[in-house]
Amino acid sequence: MTNNYELYKVFYLAAKTGSLSQAAKALYLTQPSVSHAIKQLEDSFGLVLFHRTSKGVTLTQEGALLYSYIEQSHILITRAEEKMAALKNLDDGELRVGGSDSLFKHYLLPYLESFHRQYPGVRIHLNHGTTPEVIAFLKEGRIDLGVVRMPIVDPQLQVRESFQLQDCFVAGEGYSELKNTELSMEELLHYPIILFSRNSRARMAITELFQSYGYPLKPEFEVGSVDLLIEFARKGLGISYVTREFVSRELEDGSLFEIRLDVPLPPSQVGLMTMRNMPLTNAASRFMEMVG
């Protein structure tokens, strides 16, 4: 038996064309090389695969049986090559991205729209979660890349800085007396605070900041989405901690206003996260280039 698959290619073309010379031409080989390859294959099986005639070659019964299998393999290989070409050209494939609802909505959406317009054959799958959840998605192989808040310290991951966000406290007209004033942390805590309920980087960062000044940050309300943080503040239920860039419309139309503190709130960096030393799919690589 042989595992030299080039011999099967020679056999397939000789059988398909019925001519050693045509098989040699298609494979850019000499006719003696084709004859030798077929002889090797016949010797490996201990069977005669072709009848040689003055007009060319015809398959023996054993050769016809082998051809039926080789033809199926050739079809599968051809389809595989076509599939690989489609993936390379982004005519097919998948793009799997992980991130928070707010980052998808306020940051990634234009890039996803542009990617879909350019490569409509690529299916886009979004996995929603907090930064720790997105890290788990990536390590489990459920996504190709994640968009997360930094810092990320993990030797298995590679993170490329993308853009900066600034979080802030905001309130609605129910707290209009706080407009154009500056509060201390202690004064702020006299009011009901609304925070994101899940274990997000933003929640962790503001909690750690208050603790560093000796103040425990205990929210009156915990909600499960940025949209609810915004809506609760608009309704006057308390003061929400949100990303300024995500409430730019509300700040502009006056339905929310920013509450200034006497201590600076640190900005947060957003990064594109991938597995270190793992090759990206062609779709993921192209999307990374688009995001920049």
CATH tag for 5-88 (out of 1.10.10.10, 3.30.300.30, 1.10.238.10, 3.40.50.300): 1.10.10.10
Residue 53 burial (C-beta neighbours within 10 Å; 0-12, 13-18, 19+): exposed
> Residue 2 pLDDT > 60, yes or no?
no
CATH, range 95-146+278-291? 3.40.190.10
**Confidence band (pLDDT; 50, 70, 90) for 3?**
low
DSSP per-residue letters across 72-114: HHHHHHHHHHHHHHHHHTTSS-EEEEEE-HHHIIIIIHHHHHH
Topology of domain 167-266, CATH:
D-Maltodextrin-Binding Protein; domain 2 (3.40.190)
Measure the CA–CA gap between 134 and 127, rounded to whole angstroms: 8
Q: List pLDDT tens digits, range 131-176.
A: 889 999 999 999 999 999 888 889 999 999 888 899 999 999 999 9
The dihedral through the CA atoms of 83, 85, 88, 91 has a sign that is: negative
User: What are the φ/ψ torsions at residue 5 (nearest 5 degrees)?
Assistant: -75, -15
Q: Where are the domains of the chain?
A: 5-88, 95-146+278-291, 167-266
Contact assessment for residue 41 and residue 49, using Cβ atoms and an 8 Å cutoff: yes
Specify the pLDDT at position 155: 93
**Is the fold of 95-146+278-291 the same as that of 167-266?**
yes
pLDDT at 54: 85
As a whole-number percent, the residues of the chain with pLDDT over 90 amount to 73
Q: pTM for this one?
A: 0.69
pLDDT tens figures, 80-115: 888 888 788 898 989 999 998 889 988 899 999 999
- Mean per-residue pLDDT over the chain, rounded: 92
CA distances (Å), 139 to each of 136, 157, 189, 201, in order?
A: 5, 9, 39, 18
Residue 151: cis peptide before it, omega within 30 degrees of 0: yes
